[in-house]
Structure 1
């Protein structure tokens, strides 16, 4: 029996009501309720609401019952993936709250070397993290600090470790990070959780932080080596256990250079997880290569409406009087033409996104420097064209609740038939 079936049965018992009485009060067939309890059938959401009302569930009880319902309705794997993606949105919308620490309070590296004189292996999270912070402090004394590591974001100290690096992000630093995704699973929940950890860092640190990934067929292979993860700087190598509770410290330039050389070769067999570009043409090119040629779905604060731009509007709205803009504008036109050729476009957006367009007169899909502001009449006409496309079936749309889904304004997600 599922968690939903177990909990529904428990609620019926706790509220001292029979299935027959519940059926009569909720207008939900008695057989359907029995089948829902035994996991032989998934009831409709409306029927679930009627059952909640008939039993007069407390808000906490109703929330828990619907939580279990969503698991069986979507399937546990998809449900967990859905929540992991929501967590990513939440992290991205709270970048300003990213922790920052004072690196000047770290223990000095000479103390570490005294501490490690007769030992190279240490245990205990506190000890491991103390050594890690000291290595960071020491490396930032170097003219060109460099950090290369395979530490998985699941390790307990990972966020604090990155916060330590961020403290000095104003200094020129090279950070290379390799992580692995599970190739055995259709939906890799750990992979989504890793993305939640590294994506905000990439946005904060920019091109200083390079993330690479590879697929691994069996995660258990990591357990063969006692210290499978490592951090390499110019003068030190830290080799971590699977849990991160133990570390082996190597303190010689020769050993550090050996690991650095191996990691460089390792990266060549990996792919970039996050790519950076401040070139609008590069961005749109990557965008087009991902989204395919048939069906297109986008999610951002504003609706995807560039396909509605007519030749007359393009000529009227684009800025042509700046050097180098002609090439970019022609490229944007080709992008719009591709959007027009999709058989179907599904756009997900927010009410606040529409309000922003009405208030500012600018579309988020094109940088402001390339396009003039829409006046009030043009805004009204453009929104009417958008609604007519939905009515005709050429486009479909969903509006998400800004209060429930924290989706940052700078983020756009596109999914195509590929």
Structure 2
């Protein structure tokens, strides 16, 4: 079977790997000059199995209003005249209730837990290096109110058997010794012990090389114009340079841009880009740098150790498909690293980046089958594409090849949106 994968980010490449591993002939198409050059390029570096939760949660609308007025706010919504954006925001608000949160959380944990379980086998099989560490994530609370509010998260972690530790100030410092320098700026934390870290782009590049060795063909610089439909199935992918690229089956793994090619063929997905920012800076002194990932609960910013670098990422900007990196766009993430690890990295050498996260209003990715028998989806992962990449890639590859995925696809497909 020949399978055409649309997109060479971490989602598309992991899908290609699992297809090729099972004997499929695979062609991967991407408009960029290489793999992992968009959303996968400089994300937070977290494999957040314990923090796989939808943004749409009880109380979020009230918090969002408060965030909008913070000096270093985690959320910004541009007042665009964009009906699609406002419809997406309304759908997200409708998911901000206890019942929807638990349903959506359960679906997300199903995918992320599966990804956690299958990723070690992929690493063993390929031997790729990606600056990986297995030291967990420390959610850092600056106030007692934040620590008290985390009890709700702990209940859900218990429900899904996600291991964690509730830590006081001294215990947080024992896990992240450099925090001793700023011990008066936080009261405690929640440590998610199963979480891992790593450089998503390094992983994507390494896996691309392994895929090429397995016979996967990568066609870069190919902008996809449309999907061709004949006799109620997909006949090919129309590109600007190569023309039509045809196969027996097709996987759309185009992130935020999936809607551009899916809408015209009648697959309407509520995926909208949510812009995020990051900076990457060199470690100056190891003793004063983070050892794993710290999530600042106040600013919703993650600080992750990647070898001899520090990645600081966060913010949610709803501004359409803008990829502009303004002169002050990374001020918030720079503030957080300077505030918590003032001697850890060299901010003067920070490299700024921005990317578009493909968000669904319920937080759950869109995987698997569609109304067309030979078209499959692997998109809409939001901030958790790196976390869910291996699990969703393997599940979708199985579905493409006519096998029953090892996890239930109930609630994960486009059918939940009436497609």
Fold agreement, TM-score > 0.5: no
Larger radius of gyration: 1
Q: TM-score, structure 2 length as denominator? A: 0.21
The one of the two structures with greater contact order (alpha-carbon pairs below 8 A, sep at least 6) is 2
